[in-house]
Amino acid sequence: MKFKRLISWLLASALAASLAVMPIGAAGTSSFGDISDRETAVNADILRLMGVVSGTGGNQFNPNGTLTRAEFCTMVVKFMQQGDQVPIHATRTIFSDVTSKHWAQGYVNLAASLTVKDGEREVPLISGVGDGRFQPDEKITQAQAATILIRVLGYSSEQAGAVWPQSYMNLAESIGLSDGLPSDYNAALTRGQAAQLFVNALSCKNGEGSDYYTTLGKAQEDTIILAVNVETDDGTSDGAIRTTANKESEAYLPAEGEGNPYALQGKRGALVLNDKDEIVTFVPDDSSATTIILSGDAQPSYVKASGGSQYTMSKDTLLYTADATEGKSYMEGYSVLKSGTQITMYSERGKIVAVYASGSASSIDSDAVVVMGSPSTAMFHQLTGGATNFNIQKGRQTITMSQIQPYDVVTYDSMSNTLIVSDLRLTCIYENASPNSKAPTEIEVLGHTFEVLDSAWEMTGDYKVGDQVTLLLTADGKVAGMAAPSGKTRSTAIGMVDSGKATVFLPNGGTLELSGTISNADNLADQLVTISSGAKGKISASKLSSKSTSGQFLVEEGKLGSYTVSAGVQIYEQVNGGAMVKLDPTSLNMASIPGEKIATYHLNTSNYVDYIVLDRVTGNAYEYGILISTTTSTPVLDGDGEDTGEEKESKKWNLVNGSGTIDLKNTGFAGKNGTMAGVAVGSNGRIVSIIELEEIKSVSPSDFFESQGVQYVNAGGRTYRVADDVECCRDTGSIRDAKDSWFSQDSGEERLAAIKAFSSDLTIYVDPIGDQVRVISAK
């Protein structure tokens, strides 16, 4: 489904620019151009969705303008979904001052003809002022308007009381009809106040004790409005609305109103449908919504926002994403929530009950623009459908229009009203095209089949199979264009290589796999490399060049020296140039990291830091376990290769943990057999560093505690964080190299729970670099 003309329901522009936690829609986004107040925007858009209002012309609502009696009657008729009956009431005169010359004759006549129950009798919904007159152009007061809606709700005059307007207004207050309105009952009702009154009525109990909105159709509770003004399933029209209640991926059309209530995007509540599965109305619930940008990849039990706030997630919390047809549990889907992703969390009574992830880290629309020359709003008109208030993100970092560079690829994520900018380019040999090279839908390069967007055909026709080209790729790895390799179109693909395989990291957090011959692959394993290809079937890979910085890495501020660190930055750690291990930014629990601890960093084409490699900062680049030695004897040979009868003893070391045994080829370790340690591996499996762990005995299971989804332990007068992948073993009284002495649960959390249940006498082993508990032993 292709979405068009959406205004951001997450207000991504202001949100991502500040990288701060804020309630959804805090700045107010309305489908009407003259509404800035958030509550009024929501109320007006609910009425717009119902067909009760369409504005006063020029997309204006005029919230401070007053309403006439005829205008309010018109709104009531539409609110009751009776608008189709108006024509048959427009050919007679009931009130002498509402003739065929009056624009509202049909609505006033219909309102006067509609009856409501008043105890045992039926009474007209509205009546005149006497003398056969209605005074249609007189201003309506709050008391008059509330009285009409009390009748719509089915309350009798006996329930309301005999003293008007005081008794009626007392009833209105008791049922919540007048919530949010001033107490001056006799003042003229403004259009903004009327919107509040009607929306209040939807949630009021009627005379029979039911929520009024449930009488208008079938209500689907706990529904989130994901997108408005989208194309219908058959592509014939706009104005459909996609929600979490949709069957599969279909979108609903409004029964009477307009499908562009932008203020409702991201709201959660009751969706009311008629028997044709058309939207009658939407009633927001009282859940609160908070929007954040993730400062690290989501974890199984929590997410962390830029700025440091952490939120605990239940495993069964519903998670919705822009490209999914239905929700799934948080535990099933959290792995798609990468650092820099924008999410909205819905809470009830302090518990997060649903999460929605915007599309900036998900699939994106099928059109793209390759920037040539200076970018401008008009350049992206075909993507946005004319919207001009869009956010712009590159590497999940908000940028300005001027920071978009030539040959950048721009796509549009309509869910968050965001232009997604990608500078991902891959220089390679154009190997195959389907169905042809002029207008390919797919091309093959290095064992990978790339989807080709239609918009790329303007450029693909200039090249033929066998040419060396640079693929200009979208954030999710689709081909948006081709260019001849040059200094301006050099390959920017970064990833890692293994024997015969290269993994390219995509700007949206995903990856793509390439296959081919890689020279010097063993020495490049577990290193960040730039990737390209100059010959068919061959992959060229080069390590990221070392780059030092004199400035600090200010973790929470997102600054590396004078550079801004992208919200989607990927952070790795290594030891003495050894294997690089990816870090979750949330594991950096320090305010700053000295420049000498930065092994290297990389800048994207807009000069934002998108990769950082740390040197021995957290200790996560080590593998932890117990060092076990074995001694072997080998014959000593003379110069002719003859056995001298003597033997030479040599010691061989292995690291043992719950994952198995690691053969340490060149340890040079002279310590004690059975030492709990960490081992860092370099190229070709060679050891580049060994650290011994600090032993702390007599730790009780009660000393462990959880805070914001992270495990800690109080021991030896200090508090230590327990590593997410902590290893656990039973102390059998001898060297613990037996496989069955190590706990084998899949996660560190599960292993920790198991060892705490196993014994009340625990020993913890802490690494000297990151001060984290890496191994726990139980007697």
As a dihedral over the C-alpha atoms of residue 31, residue 36, residue 41, residue 44, rounded to 10 degrees, the angle is: -80
In angstroms, the CA 771 to CA 678 distance is: 13
Confirm if 352 and 303 have CB atoms less than 8 A apart. no
> For the chain, which residues make up each domain, given as ranges?
29-214, 425-543, 553-615, 623-692, 694-778
* Of 89-103, 361-375, 737-751, highest mean pLDDT: 89-103
pLDDT tens for 615-629 read 999 999 999 999 988
Residue indicated by tokens 């709003």: 377
CA dist 5 → 69, 413, 421 (Å)? 35, 11, 19
In angstroms, the CA 521 to CA 498 distance is: 6
Q: Which residues pair with 629 in a beta bridge?
A: 653
Structure tokens, 520: 């010097």
Least Cα distance to 263 among 62, 17, 6 occurs for: 6
Mean pLDDT along residues 378-401 = 84
Residue 109 gets the label, from left (phi > 0), alpha (psi -120 to 50) or beta, of: alpha
Residue indicated by tokens 């109305």: 281
pLDDT tens for 58-109 read 789 999 999 999 999 999 999 999 999 999 999 889 999 999 999 999 999 9
pTM: 0.68
In angstroms, the CA 595 to CA 583 distance is: 18
Q: How confident is the model at residue 40 (pLDDT cuts 50, 70, 90)?
A: very high
What is the percentage of the chain residues whose pLDDT exceeds 90? 55
Mean pLDDT along residues 205-219 = 94
In angstroms, the CA 371 to CA 366 distance is: 16
For the ranges 20-24, 181-185, 725-729, which has the lowest average pLDDT? 20-24
What's the confidence (pLDDT) of residue 664?
83
* Phi, psi dihedral angles at 625 (to 5 degrees): 170, -150
As a dihedral over the C-alpha atoms of residue 26, residue 30, residue 35, residue 36, rounded to 10 degrees, the angle is: 20
In angstroms, the CA 185 to CA 147 distance is: 11
Q: Specify the 3-state DSSP secondary structure of 472.
A: strand
pLDDT above 80 (res 231)? no
Q: How confident is the model at residue 684 (pLDDT cuts 50, 70, 90)?
A: low
pLDDT above 90 (res 52)? yes
Confirm if 304 and 555 have CB atoms less than 8 A apart. no
What's the confidence (pLDDT) of residue 596?
93
pLDDT tens for 157-171 read 889 888 999 999 999
Higher pLDDT: 28 or 62? It is 62
pLDDT above 80 (res 541)? yes
CA dist 325 → 240, 566, 748 (Å)? 16, 30, 32
Confirm if 599 and 560 have CB atoms less than 8 A apart. no
Least Cα distance to 322 among 702, 557, 8, 730 occurs for: 8
User: How many alpha carbons lie under 13 Å from residue 207 in its C-beta half-sphere?
Assistant: 16
Residue indicated by tokens 């369409």: 54
* Phi, psi dihedral angles at 12 (to 5 degrees): -60, -30
What's the confidence (pLDDT) of residue 325?
55
Beta strand 288-293 pairing with 369-370: unpaired
In angstroms, the CA 669 to CA 589 distance is: 31
Higher pLDDT: 652 or 475? It is 475
pLDDT tens for 344-363 read 899 888 889 889 886 543 33
Mean pLDDT along residues 265-271 = 89
Q: How confident is the model at residue 49 (pLDDT cuts 50, 70, 90)?
A: very high
What's the confidence (pLDDT) of residue 141?
96
Structure tokens, 323: 């490209």
What's the confidence (pLDDT) of residue 416?
65
What's the confidence (pLDDT) of residue 415?
58
Q: CA gyration radius for the chain?
A: 33
Q: Which residues pair with 571 in a beta bridge?
A: 583, 612
List all residues 6 or more positions away from 232 whose beta carbon is below 8 Å from its beta carbon: 238, 239, 240, 251, 253
pLDDT above 80 (res 474)? yes
Least Cα distance to 561 among 596, 531, 589 occurs for: 596
What's the confidence (pLDDT) of residue 14?
27
Q: How many residues would you count in the chain? A: 779
What's the confidence (pLDDT) of residue 359?
52
Q: How confident is the model at residue 292 (pLDDT cuts 50, 70, 90)?
A: confident
In angstroms, the CA 227 to CA 221 distance is: 17
pLDDT above 50 (res 549)? yes
What's the confidence (pLDDT) of residue 699?
97
pLDDT tens for 579-636 read 999 998 777 888 899 999 999 999 999 999 999 999 999 999 999 999 988 877 777 7
In angstroms, the CA 564 to CA 559 distance is: 5
Neighbouring C-beta atoms of residue 639, cutoff 10 Å: 5
Confirm if 130 and 151 have CB atoms less than 8 A apart. no
What's the confidence (pLDDT) of residue 661?
87
What is the percentage of the chain residues whose pLDDT exceeds 70? 91
Reported as type and span, the H/E element at residue 118 is strand 115-118
Structure tokens, 412: 């549009």
User: How many alpha carbons lie under 13 Å from residue 281 in its C-beta half-sphere?
Assistant: 28
Q: How confident is the model at residue 650 (pLDDT cuts 50, 70, 90)?
A: confident
Structure tokens, 299: 């974890």
Least Cα distance to 56 among 47, 148, 147 occurs for: 47
In angstroms, the CA 61 to CA 192 distance is: 8
In angstroms, the CA 597 to CA 579 distance is: 16
- Spatial strand order of the sheet with 409-413 comes to 369-370, 409-413, 418-422, 391-394, 397-398
What's the confidence (pLDDT) of residue 140?
96
Q: How confident is the model at residue 322 (pLDDT cuts 50, 70, 90)?
A: low
Mean pLDDT along residues 320-332 = 76
pLDDT above 80 (res 201)? yes
pLDDT tens for 400-422 read 999 999 999 999 876 567 899 99
Kindly tell me the sign of the dihedral angle through the C-alpha atoms of 195, 201, 202, 204. Answer: positive
Q: Where are the beta strands (DSSP E) in 395-463?
A: 397-398, 409-413, 418-422, 425-429, 432-434, 442-445, 448-451
In angstroms, the CA 625 to CA 632 distance is: 22
Q: How confident is the model at residue 365 (pLDDT cuts 50, 70, 90)?
A: very low
In angstroms, the CA 769 to CA 624 distance is: 13
Least Cα distance to 77 among 45, 52, 102 occurs for: 52
Mean pLDDT along residues 743-772 = 95
Structure tokens, 128: 């005149």
Q: Got the DSSP string for 76-97?
A: HHHHTT-GGGSGGGSSS-SSTT
Structure tokens, 551: 């400035």
What's the confidence (pLDDT) of residue 363?
37
Q: Which residues pair with 254 in a beta bridge?
A: 279
Q: Which residues pair with 161 in a beta bridge?
A: none
Amino acid code (one letter) for 386: G
In angstroms, the CA 532 to CA 543 distance is: 12
As a dihedral over the C-alpha atoms of residue 122, residue 177, residue 348, residue 415, rounded to 10 degrees, the angle is: 90
Amino acid code (one letter) for 183: S
List all residues 6 or more positions away from 217 whose beta carbon is below 8 Å from its beta carbon: 272, 273, 274, 275, 280
Burial of 641 (0-12, 13-18, 19+ CB in 10 A): exposed
Structure tokens, 161: 């009381």
In angstroms, the CA 342 to CA 357 distance is: 6
Q: Specify the 3-state DSSP secondary structure of 486.
A: coil
Structure tokens, 588: 């950096």
